[in-house]
């Protein structure tokens, strides 16, 4: 059983961004705060990248179960790491560094983006992760959040974007889910809507984590994207996945009979 919970690729998707966070924090204890602030989002990114891979291979029903298990591992690893960081934060007084270095911030961002893009490349290729409507939704969301942030004098636009963009991704997910439910008789429409749903979550969290790594001082004022967010997103993910897989199960049972 333990071996089934170990997957090097899934671990790398989570652990490389953790490394990038500690590089940004100059390997200080403040890295614990940054990891707690970002690792849930990293786990969600990894899980949804895996979900995109499964969408591309739904025809092979026998592989759906194992692929789903592997896709869930980044989220599992992220929750464990986040829990450990929470325990450390509650027991140790952590003081932020006096200043962050742009060079280390850039290195951290590069490692995070590199690991994310590598995961996409290994699964299906970067082309499968480009979807125009999801990108439009991302830019519109960034624009709306920026406009709203202009009314807040205490936080800048980037801070607002890093804080609230993941929730905009959930809105995109729900929009795609509505389309899935409205087109249950049309497999192609279902698949394209699911792609939109998953990519809005991936895009929004990648942008949010990138900002947090490049401007780590925002983590002092921002609330963490935490367990409630991850729980809600994972419930939506499981529901959407059931909508996609149950018809396949029905076909397999009918053909088997």
**Count of H helices and E strands in the chain?**
8, 0
Give the model confidence (pLDDT) of 201-253 as tens digits: 999 999 999 999 998 877 654 555 677 888 889 888 888 888 777 665 555 44
Binned at pLDDT 50, 70 and 90, residue 257 comes out as: very low
Give the per-residue pLDDT at 253. Answer: 46
Binned at pLDDT 50, 70 and 90, residue 102 comes out as: confident
Average pLDDT over residues 120-142: 87
Residues 233 and 83 sit within 8 Å (Cβ to Cβ): no
Instruction: Provide, rounded to the nearest whole percent, the portion of the chain with pLDDT above 70.
Output: 85
Number of domains into which the chain is organized: 1
d(CA 208, CA 121): 21
d(CA 18, CA 45): 14
Q: What is the DSSP letter of 97?
A: -
Give the model confidence (pLDDT) of 145-171 as tens digits: 988 887 765 667 888 898 899 999 999
Answer yes or no: is pLDDT of 135 > 50: yes
d(CA 215, CA 157): 12
d(CA 202, CA 200): 5
Give the model confidence (pLDDT) of 6-52 as tens digits: 888 889 999 999 999 999 988 888 888 889 889 999 999 999 998 88
Closest CA to 68 of 119, 19, 10: 10
Q: How far is CA 250 from CA 24, 53, 58, 97, in A?
A: 49, 22, 13, 57
d(CA 26, CA 100): 8
Which are the contacts of 19, defined by CB distance < 8 A and separation ≥ 6? 111
Average pLDDT over residues 116-120: 89
Answer yes or no: is pLDDT of 94 > 60: yes
Give the model confidence (pLDDT) of 172-198 as tens digits: 999 999 988 888 777 667 888 889 999
Binned at pLDDT 50, 70 and 90, residue 134 comes out as: very high
Domain range for residue 13? 3-256
């Amino acid at each position: 059983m333990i071996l089934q919970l170990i997957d090097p690729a899934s671990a790398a998707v989570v652990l490389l961004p953790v490394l990038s966070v500690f590089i940004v924090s100059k390997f200080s204890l403040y890295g614990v705060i940054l990891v707690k602030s970002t690792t849930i989002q990293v786990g969600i990114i990894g899980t949804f990248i895996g979900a995109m891979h499964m969408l591309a291979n739904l025809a092979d029903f026998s592989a759906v179960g194992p692929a789903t298990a592997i896709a869930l591992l980044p989220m599992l690893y992220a929750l464990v790491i986040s829990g450990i960081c929470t325990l450390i934060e509650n027991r140790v007084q952590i003081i932020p560094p006096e200043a962050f270095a742009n060079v280390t911030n850039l290195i951290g961002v590069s490692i995070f983006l590199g690991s994310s893009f590598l995961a996409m490349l290994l699964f299906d290729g970067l082309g499968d992760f480009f979807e125009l409507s999801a990108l439009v939704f991302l830019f519109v969301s960034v624009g709306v959040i920026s406009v709203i942030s202009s009314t807040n004098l205490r936080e800048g636009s980037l801070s607002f974007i890093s804080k609230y963009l993941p929730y905009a991704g959930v809105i995109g997910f729900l929009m795609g889910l509505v389309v899935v439910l409205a087109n249950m008789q049309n497999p192609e429409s279902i698949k394209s809507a699911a792609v939109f749903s998953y990519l809005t979550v991936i895009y929004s969290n990648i942008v949010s984590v990138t900002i947090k790594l490049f401007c780590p001082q925002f983590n002092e004022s921002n609330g963490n994207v935490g367990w409630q967010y991850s729980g809600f997103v994972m419930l939506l993910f499981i529901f959407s996945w059931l909508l996609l897989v149950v018809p396949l199960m029905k076909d397999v049972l009918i053909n088997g009979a």
